[in-house]
Structure 1
Amino acid sequence: MVLRFLLKVFLYFTIFLIALPFLPVPLAFEPKPFVSTLPKFEGPLAQNTKLDDVEYLLKDVVYGPESMDVHNGFIYTGTIGGYIVRTTGSTRSTETVAKLGKKCGGRWEEEVCGRPLGLRFDKSGRLFVMDAYY
């Protein structure tokens, strides 16, 4: 009988401790709305048409570039599928520099292929890559 009572007390106490962090507490301050004023779109922020006549480089050749860096005349970027490629920008072709991750069936297996989202060269020419999965 005493054991059953102690077990109930222990159970209720454990439930209380688990629920304690989720109990609402009164706010000690009065929240104020955030107010921000937008800048006027004048001068360098004015609407323009400078990008209307751009030339698309490597359209339908490189898919999903997130970050680019230039080293020794080449533009380096990471692509969907875990590839790091380079191009001169004047040609319509790329050269694969590295492949991250494992072989995969397609874009839907990004966690298998790898996804290089950022890359930079240091002063000595070493390439550092940030991958979303590896």
Structure 2
Amino acid sequence: MSTRAAELAEVLYLQGRYGEAEDFTRISEEMGAGDDVETQAKWRAVRALVFARKGKVAEARELGQEAAARAETTDFLYLLGDVYFYVGEAALLSNAVSTAVIAYKKSLSFHEQKGNVPSANKVRSLLEKIT
């Protein structure tokens, strides 16, 4: 259930429903087991995006770093690709372009390793726009 709450937070964020997205990151945080890497990484990554949109740059950066650190403990390439994409987006929203480029390049690498062509193309397109 905690992972589904994190996934719902992700969908709500993508729909521009930032307040609801943050609410579902809190549900995921409260319900998730500490060793559930996917849940722990996802809710942090989505909340980082919400905080970046709110101008809470330091909090967004910290959550993004925590999300990436959690994801890095796995070999779940799709999770790694998604988390680094969100870390990049949060950095870009915070005007940290060089940090965004680094995160997007990591995201691209993980999506390419997984063979996730649509996501790799999306990241590649974003990289072309900001570099």
TM range (shorter): under 0.3
Q: Taking structure 1 as the reference length, what is the TM-score of the superposition?
A: 0.21
Structure showing greater relative contact order (alpha-carbon pairs closer than 8 Å, 6 or more residues apart): 2
Q: Which has the higher helix share?
A: 2
Q: Taking structure 2 as the reference length, what is the TM-score of the superposition?
A: 0.22
Q: Which has the higher strand share?
A: 1
Give 1 or 2 for the bigger CA radius of gyration.
Answer: 1
